[in-house]
Amino acid sequence: MKNFKTQLIKNQKLVIYGVITACLLFANYSLFLRPTFISLKETIPRLAQMKKQLISDKSLVANIPRFKIQIEQMRESISSYRKKFSTRQEIAELLKDLSEIAKDSNVKIISIKPHQPVDAQSVSTASGAYQKFPISIRAVCGYHQLGAFLNSLENDETFMRVSDINIASDEKDPSQHLVYILINTYILSEE
């Protein structure tokens, strides 16, 4: 019986040790492993997303020289477009250029002057980068000279658009016509 008692005490100790070990394992899982697994479960998708973003960023960084070339091309393009628009300080020069174009086309200008816009809204564009600047021209010329003048305006470095034209015969000379032209050019805003 003594042997049975010692065996029973030994078994009880093993059971107690087993229960304590199970409690320790459960506590370890609950306190340490479970929060770590939950954190990993949340972190792994973010890590995958960050990895994709890193690959994307690396390709963008590899393309920086190409982007610099594109930026330089855009700057050159902007510079060429700026030449197509005048500034308020260049209006006198613009009127002089119009006179030269007319002279080269054998168009005799009677008057050339800035024209008042019809309404204040038509002056400024939505972006505000440039403003419409109308110029009225009264001239005497033949059809061929008028055509050459309009062609020269169209091919000029400065952007101009004919918005109105009126042609009447000249009673003094049947080969000549009295011409009224309203040209719209655009000037860069002061900003």
pLDDT tens, position by position, 105-145: 999 999 888 876 544 444 455 456 778 888 899 999 988 99
pLDDT at 115: 73
For a pLDDT cut of 70, what percent of the chain falls above it?
85
What is the average pLDDT score of the chain? Answer: 81
For a pLDDT cut of 90, what percent of the chain falls above it?
15
Pick from 15-29, 36-50, 83-97: least confident: 83-97
**CA–CA distances in Å: residue 118 to residues 22, 109, 121, 122:** 92, 23, 9, 7
Q: What is the pTM of this model?
A: 0.53
d(CA 167, CA 158) in angstroms, rounded, equals: 24
pLDDT at 84: 63
pLDDT tens, position by position, 148-164: 999 998 888 888 888 89
pLDDT tens, position by position, 32-67: 778 888 888 888 888 889 899 989 888 888 888 998
Per CATH, which fold does 88-188 belong to?
Alpha-Beta Plaits (3.30.70)
pLDDT at 121: 47
Domain residues of the chain, as ranges? 2-62, 88-188
| 187 pLDDT tier (thresholds 50, 70, 90) | confident
